[in-house]
Structures are given as C-alpha cells and as structure tokens.
C-alpha cells in the first residue's frame, strides 16, 4: 500500500467553485478529510457531490479554489497513483474479461503482473467475483459490473479511495460486505471519500458532509447531525437539514 507520511489531511479543499454556464454546481466548498477516515458526502440529486468528486480526482478543473490531495496541490500527476477512483458509471471495458480489466487498470497504476494477481485474489473474493475471472464483463449482471468497477478502483491498493455511488445497484448482502471491507481498509489507514444515496450506509461513515445546492451545509459524525436536527435517524436529520439549507440558500 502506498504510504502518506505527513499529518496533512488526505483531502483538503479551499473555496472550491464550479459553474456550468450560469449555474453553480459547487460553491465555496471547504472540505477536510483525514487519514483513515470514511467520509460520506450526501445530498439530494444535483447538490454537487459528483462534481466535487470529479474535481478532486482531477478530471474537472475548478473555476475557483484549491484542491490538495495527500499534501499535493491538484493538478498533480504523482498523486494519481495513490488514488482509486470509481465513477458513477461502471467505467470498465465490457468487451474484455474481468481478469483483463483488472490487469489493464492495475498495469497503468504501476503494478506488476504478479502484484496484480496477488491483489486480484483478495479483491475478487471481496466483491464476490472470484468465479468470474474469465467472464466477459458484458456478460456480468448489472450488479456484478458495479462490483467489478469497485474492484478496478481498488486493484492498486490506493491510499485514498474516491467512490461515487459505489453501492448503487448492489444487493443488500453484498453492500454489507463492502462496508465491512471499507471499515477494514480504513483501519489499515486507507482514506475513503464516498458519495451515497443510501442514508443507512452514510450512518456507517466516520463523518458525513451534507451538500445542498453546491454548498456543504453541515458536517460531522452521523450521531451529531441527528442530535443537531433533533432527529431519530440520519434520514430525518437529512430532510430537516436540507430543508433548512434550502431556506437559507
């Protein structure tokens, strides 16, 4: 696993702004995610979660503000090898096999063939695709393709995982197993920034950030957000805080 020696936050953004035409997708986002943390970005559709993810991994240039990952200001090519990014789309080659997908993405992230084989065993077991190594990706079910997408993001054992809706379309049993693995990774020092629509999943995060209309309107451990919103569940807290955010916004 790639190491990150300094005590700098793994993810830090300052006044991040992204506009599409006249519309603000993200406005003035200040975000800090520390080493080993699982940070959940939640918010309604169009709140700016995916745009934030894309700016973090360097495929979208912010209009204003700065992004620091692992202490380096983005854009930075050297940081990319330490990041695993799983976009909302499956982002896999559907005309090659599961093994070939892992092999290709592993190689471009600098792994040797042996390294890939070693990591692939663990990861395929985690995502429940160990029996599908030689299957063409297009022959997998939608859920399996999603799992392969996650496996590809993790093949090089990155220090930081940026996961955009990783469990969308994945069955509940497997989601539980994913989260078990995320917790294990986190315990080993991997930082995970995740966007999700499943609020029960968000409650498993160390901290969650609630985005609405491009702004981070609240953040903190799930229990604190529930208390602040005088809500029994994170879902209730979410509805209260988003409503409040809209009134203020």
In the complex, which residues of this chain contact another protein (CB under 8 A)?
54, 57-59, 61, 74-77, 79-81, 83, 85-94, 105, 108-110, 152-153, 162
Nearer to another protein, 29 or 162 (CB): 162
State which residue, 70 or 237, has the beta carbon closest to another protein: 70
Select 145 or 203, whichever has its Cβ closest to another protein.
145
Provide, rounded to whole angstroms, the least separation between the CB of residue 61 and another protein: 5
Closest distance of CB 173 from another protein, Å: 25
- In terms of CB distance, is 1 or 108 closer to another protein? 108
Task: Look at strands 160-164 and 191-195 and give their pairing.
Answer: parallel
Q: How far is the CB of 11 from another protein (least distance, A)?
A: 14
Q: Which is nearer to another protein, 53 or 225 (CB)?
A: 53
How far apart are CB 153 and another protein at their closest, in Å?
8
Residue whose C-alpha is closest to residue 237's, from 245, 228, 246: 228
Of residues 79 and 229, the one with the C-beta less far from another protein = 79
Cβ 179 to another protein shortest distance, Å: 22
Output the smallest distance, CB 148 to another protein, in A.
12
């Amino acid at each position: 696993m790639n190491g990150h020696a300094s005590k700098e936050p793994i993810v830090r953004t300052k006044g991040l702004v992204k506009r599409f035409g006249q519309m603000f997708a993200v406005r003035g986002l200040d975000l800090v995610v520390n080493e080993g943390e699982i940070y959940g970005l939640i918010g309604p559709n169009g709140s700016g979660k995916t745009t934030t993810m894309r700016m973090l991994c360097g495929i979208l240039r912010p209009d204003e503000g700065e992004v620091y990952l692992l202490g380096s200001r983005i854009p930075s090519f050297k940081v990319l090898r330490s990041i695993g990014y799983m976009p909302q789309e499956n982002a896999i080659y559907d005309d090659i096999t599961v093994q070939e997908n892992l092999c290709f993405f592993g190689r471009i992230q600098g792994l040797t063939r042996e390294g890939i084989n070693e990591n692939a065993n663990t990861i395929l077991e985690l995502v429940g695709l160990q029996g599908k190594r030689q299957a063409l990706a297009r022959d997998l079910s939608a859920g399996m393709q999603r799992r392969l997408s996650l496996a590809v993001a993790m093949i090089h054992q990155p220090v930081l995982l940026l996961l955009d809706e990783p469990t969308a379309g994945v069955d509940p049993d497997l989601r539980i197993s994913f989260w078990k693995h995320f917790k294990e990774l986190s315990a080993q020092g991997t930082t995970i920034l995740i966007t999700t629509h499943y609020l029960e999943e968000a409650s498993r995060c160390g901290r969650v950030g609630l985005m609405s209309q491009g702004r981070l309107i609240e953040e903190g451990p799930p229990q604190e957000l529930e208390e602040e919103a005088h809500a029994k569940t994170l879902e209730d807290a979410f509805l209260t805080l988003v409503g409040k955010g809209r009134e203020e916004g």
